[in-house]
Amino acid sequence: MFDISNLFEATSVEDAISLLETHEQARVIAGGSDILIKLREGELSGCDLVSIFGLDELRGITLGADGTITIRPLSSFSLIEKDENIRNLQALSEAAAQVGGPQIRNIATIGGNICNGAVSADSAPALLTYDAVLELKSSNGVRIVPIHDFYTGPGKVDLGRAELLVGIHIKRQSYEGFGGCYIKYSARRAMDISMLGCAVNLKLSADKKYVEKLCLAYGVAAPTPIRARTAEKEAEGALFNEELLEKVSKLAQEDAMPRTSWRASKEFRLHLLGELCRRAMRTAAKRAGLS
């Protein structure tokens, strides 16, 4: 049995917010694949949990009339991987497809993945390259926070104690005409946490020879998931060739701040930063229609 003091099952979003306000020590449990494992390992012992798992209103992916894709936070990674709308957002569908294994993908939610603030979250780099916007709800109303502002420090996110993520929105101009790719570098081919994650979302010129826009993001390369802004600027308007890939990947290494940890040395991470950038860009460009 899990060392939980109290489990409150929310009946609605409002009920969940109210429960979080009433029980000051309580945390949210969505799919549970982070929290329940932490409990097994002795962390969070005796915690109070507010379960939002039953809130079907927070599941699903919809396409708005203006082309905005809305992902509800309890959507599982297997749902996201297979969804028709996400098929065109290859960086995100590839990221969803590489989380854990099949059983984990069925239970783990994209909301939990970003709200627990882990820098290794597979969905984070992809969402950064799609300039995702987060809809957060509390008793004070709704806040709209761009994902770029959501990560505030290592493991920290801009989410109030009694606040819920209720929507992830991706605008049409962030994905239409783009080609994407997510590469997850890890020791195992499944059931592993990313040692470095690289997401690319790229748009080519009309003649498919030049880069119109490059969005390049990394997980586990810095204290938070990041966009490699200097590298992106270098690519804008440039002819897509190996020479560009060399320039961009070098700048990406400088944009990131990788460090040595038990998982990998700084030198290896720098090498990965450069190599994954080139590979992901090649794939994304092909998907964007490179001639």
Partner 1 sequence: MPPRYENSGKESRSVMKEITYILNGETITTHVDPRWSLFELLRGEVSSIKRGCDVGECGACTVLIDGKTYNSCIYLAVWANGKHIRTVESLSMPDGSPGELQKAFMDDGAVQCGFCTPGFLLSATALIEEDRTFTREEIRRQLSGNLCRCTGYENIINAVEKTINKHIDNRGTK
Query: Which residues of the chain form contacts with partner 1 (CB under 8 A)?
Result: 1-7, 9, 29, 32-33, 36-37, 40-41, 45-46, 51, 53-54, 78, 100-104, 106-107, 189-191
Q: How many CB atoms lie within 10 A of CB 66?
A: 7
Burial class (CB in 10 A: 0-12, 13-18, 19+), 103: exposed
Edge-to-edge strand ranges of the sheet holding 61-63: 61-63, 69-71, 164-170, 133-138, 141-146
Question: Which region holds residue 145: left if phi is over 0, alpha if psi is between -120 and 50, else beta?
Answer: beta
SS3 content of the chain, % helix, strand, coil (to 5): 35, 25, 40
CB of 25 to partner 1, least distance (A): 12
CB of 27 to partner 1, least distance (A): 14
On whether the CB atoms of residues 48 and 10 are closer than 8 A, the answer is: no
CB of 124 to partner 1, least distance (A): 21
Identity of the residue, 84 or 189, whose beta carbon is nearer to partner 1 in the bound complex: 189
On whether the CB atoms of residues 80 and 4 are closer than 8 A, the answer is: no
Identity of the residue, 9 or 135, whose beta carbon is nearer to partner 1 in the bound complex: 9
Identity of the residue, 53 or 130, whose beta carbon is nearer to partner 1 in the bound complex: 53
CB of 188 to partner 1, least distance (A): 9
**Dmax (CA) of the chain:** 61
The residue to which tokens 């290794």 are assigned:
120
The CA distances from residue 66 to 44, 63, 144, 169, 213, in Å, are 43, 8, 18, 12, 21
Q: How far apart are CA 10 and CA 189, in angstroms?
A: 36
Identity of the residue, 1 or 65, whose beta carbon is nearer to partner 1 in the bound complex: 1
CB of 223 to partner 1, least distance (A): 26
CB of 4 to partner 1, least distance (A): 5
CB of 96 to partner 1, least distance (A): 14
Identity of the residue, 45 or 173, whose beta carbon is nearer to partner 1 in the bound complex: 45
